[in-house]
Structure formats: C-alpha cells, structure tokens
Amino acid sequence: MTTMDETTLSEQTPANVPVTTSTIPADELARLTDDIVSALKTVYDPEIPADIYELGLVYKIDIEDDRSVKIDMTLTAPGCPVAGEMPGWVENAVGAVEGVSGVEVSMVFDPPWTPDRMSEEAQIAVGWY
C-alpha cells in the first residue's frame, strides 16, 4: 500500500477536487466494492434481460467510513413501470452484503440514460452486438 502525504496529494490533485481518504482498510474496501457490484448484478430490469450494473443504470457508488453505501442510479426511462420498486430492490441486494451498515439509493435522471452506457455483456444479452 502506498501512503501519500499532503504535499504529494496537493501536487497531484487540482485545487478544486476534494481529496477523500477512507478509514476502511484497503483490502476490506476492495472486498466491499466487489461484493456491492456483485449484489447490483443480481438486480434486473424486468423488461430487459440484463442486470442494472451492466446496463449502466448505476451512476455512482459511495462507501462511507461507517460502511453505509450511497448509490446514484437511473432508469432506462423516467416512466419505467418499476420506478417505485427498483430502489427497494437495490437497497435489499446491497444491504445483504456483509459489512454494509445501510444503503441509500437516489434516483437521478441527469444525465439521462442512453444505450451507449451498456457494457458489451449487456449489449450481447439484448442482441445489440
């Protein structure tokens, strides 16, 4: 593990970008990240045969020092019929990850989702590749 002091960080980081460090050990943070992504891959949009992670519906995942997780995500369309249920599915899936203390899901529509956010795996699943 590389430790960076304030001088090194200020030399490499623009002044307007906040520097954040975690009190979670790096190996635990890596495991949490992998497990959260795996959990997200268990949640599917019922109208599309691909998971929400590969579809590119997850915009941001923040793991806080208290091991709570904040997720910004979107839908394929604002009028999606599961708009009211999808955040609960995500909260349940990620909340089941060992070590996660809580989950907050925010639905965002800016930027709007487009099919080019899909991974190659999702494109193959929907027959677009």
List, as one string, the DSSP characters of the chain.
-----HHHHHHHS-TTS-----SS-HHHHHHHHHHHHHHHTT-B-TTSSSBTTTTT-EEEEEE-TTSEEEEEE--SSTT-TTTTTHHHHHHHHHHTSTT--EEEEEE--SSPP-GGGS-HHHHHHTT--
13 has a pLDDT exceeding 60:
no
67 has a pLDDT exceeding 70:
yes
Which pLDDT band, with edges at 50, 70 and 90, does 2 fall under?
A: very low
| Mean pLDDT for the stretch of residues 50-75 | 96
Q: Which tens digits make up the pLDDT trace of 72-106? A: 999 988 888 888 899 999 999 999 999 999 999 99
pLDDT at 63: 95
Q: What is the rounded average pLDDT for all residues in the chain?
A: 84
pLDDT at 32: 96
23 has a pLDDT exceeding 70:
yes
Which pLDDT band, with edges at 50, 70 and 90, does 16 fall under?
A: very low
Q: Rounded distance, CA 81 to CA 25, Å?
A: 40
| Mean pLDDT for the stretch of residues 22-41 | 94
Residue 9 tokens read as 């960080």
86 residue type, one letter: M
